[in-house]
Amino acid sequence: MTEVHNFGVDAISCHAWNRDKTEVAICANNNEIQVHQRTSSSWKLLETLEEHHMAVMGIDWAPKTNRIVTCSADKNAYVWTQKEDGKWDPAWVLLRINRAATCVKWSPLENKFAVGSGGRIIAVCYFVSENNWWLCKHIKRPLRSTVTTVDWHPDNKVLVAGSTDYKVRVFSAFISDMEDAPGTSSWGQSNALGTLLAEFPNTPHGGGWIHSVVFSPCGNKICWVSHNSSICVADATKGNAVVRLYTEHLPFLSCIWIGSSNIVAAGHSCMPMLYSVDDNGQIYFVSKLDNTQKKEIAGLSAMRKFQSLDRQARNETNDNALDSVHQNTINCIRRVSDHEFSTSSLDGQLVIWDLKVTRLAFRLFIIINIINY
């Protein structure tokens, strides 16, 4: 089962949900962020956030503190706080970067966030109450190119980043000014911000720059997708062993964990794909999660096309439409619940997918086709 939502925009570059999923912030592939509220029948535009003057590259919504952080190609980041009248008040963040801010992510405790940039820098930002402003500290080495994606370990003190130098790196993100001694994680520990805890090259077979990287819910595994159409998982409990699966699909741009062993990835193929990691750490393809494909609906699409041509001497089908819900690249995936996730695309649609219902429908489809065969 899918819910397809349109907001009257031509494209969506990224989106983020509030805590109870009644509101969503989207970027219409420009310098504005729209905040929409779900109504009984559709969506209501609450406010347009217009502080950035170049394309917004990333959005994240902190569920507990109800703060939105945004970053942009204008080299700036803003933390948006909702006032009593419902309006959003921006607070400028001093990033001290000289290239575009490319991605942003709140930490699990929501007391800091990380911003990747085109200047080979990760800015770890935190609030200084004495001065009433957001300050940042930089992670620079050994980054050699644009940081495209970041994610936080559940312990709030370890950070993973992917970049266009074909590498995934795990860093200490401990800030002594505001935190107690760092806890012990499976990736190691350090009391110095920016200490490199692990590094994974993505170059055994030609490589590819990293598009998305995420920690598993337990924090022991990392999954990333790259431009060489591969999906990889590194496991800290197995000596940082890396398992790679080279797929036949177009490159993925985003991925998330659903539970401890399922991964959803999507990108240029315009539909989400489900992968699973078995007990031995191997990755295998499960299914495409888009059950609307015209070519797979009981095998009747071609028959109906010829029947239409025979009876009316015209073709009623649209050959320009893709055989999927999304009609363009999926560039953002967000977790909605334990079994739901959402995707946004350059076709201007936001789709909510129910993994339980989708997998059940897929099994029924296989059974029906076996019986018919």
Q: What is the DSSP string of 162-188?
A: EETTSEEEEEE---TTT--SPPPBTTB
Confidence (pLDDT) at 130: 86
d(CA 213, CA 224): 4
- In this structure, what token pair is assigned to residue 17? 């949900």
Say if residue 364's pLDDT is above 70: no
Say if residue 134's pLDDT is above 90: yes
Say if residue 182's pLDDT is above 90: no
User: What long-range pairs does 44-53 form, CB within 8 A, spacing at least 24?
Assistant: 45/7, 46/86, 47/86, 47/87, 47/88, 49/25, 49/78, 49/80, 49/88, 49/90, 51/76, 51/78, 51/90, 51/92, 52/76, 52/78
Confidence (pLDDT) at 23: 97
Q: What is the pLDDT of residues 185-226, one digit of tens each?
A: 899 888 889 999 999 998 766 678 999 999 999 999 999 999
Higher pLDDT, 255 or 362: 255
d(CA 72, CA 89): 17
Confidence (pLDDT) at 167: 95
d(CA 373, CA 366): 10
Residue with tokens 């992968």: 275
| pLDDT confidence band for 367 (50 / 70 / 90) | very low
Q: Considering the entire predicted model, what is its pTM?
A: 0.88
* E strands, 166-268, in order: 167-172, 196-201, 210-215, 221-226, 230-235, 241-246, 252-258, 262-267
Average predicted confidence (pLDDT) for the chain: 88
Arithmetic mean of pLDDT, 289-308? 53
- In this structure, what token pair is assigned to residue 74? 């204008």
Confidence (pLDDT) at 217: 95
Confidence (pLDDT) at 328: 96
Q: β-strands 56-62, 33-38: how paired? A: unpaired
| pLDDT confidence band for 153 (50 / 70 / 90) | very high
C-alpha 173 chain-centroid distance:
21
Residue 6, CA distances (Å) to 12, 57, 289, 303 in order = 10, 20, 20, 31
Say if residue 314's pLDDT is above 60: no
Say if residue 270's pLDDT is above 60: yes
Range name among 63-67, 102-106, 158-162, 360-364 with the lowest pLDDT average: 360-364
Amino acid at 69: V
- Torsion 62-66-72-76 (CA) sign: negative
The residue ranges of every structural domain in the chain are 3-314+329-371
Give residues with Cβ within 8 angstroms of 260, minimum separation 6.
Answer: 216, 217, 218
d(CA 35, CA 86): 11
Say if residue 296's pLDDT is above 80: no
Say if residue 299's pLDDT is above 50: no
Higher pLDDT, 309 or 285: 285
Q: Which CATH architecture has domain 3-314+329-371?
A: 7 Propeller (2.130)
Give residues with Cβ within 8 angstroms of 307, minimum separation 6.
Answer: none
d(CA 238, CA 186): 10
d(CA 100, CA 117): 6
| pLDDT confidence band for 144 (50 / 70 / 90) | very high
Residue 343, CA distances (Å) to 105, 301, 350 in order = 17, 26, 6
Arithmetic mean of pLDDT, 8-33? 95
Q: Which of 186, 168, 334 is nearest to 244 (CA)?
A: 168
| % pLDDT > 90, the chain | 73
| pLDDT confidence band for 176 (50 / 70 / 90) | confident
d(CA 178, CA 158): 15
Say if residue 315's pLDDT is above 60: no
Confidence (pLDDT) at 294: 45
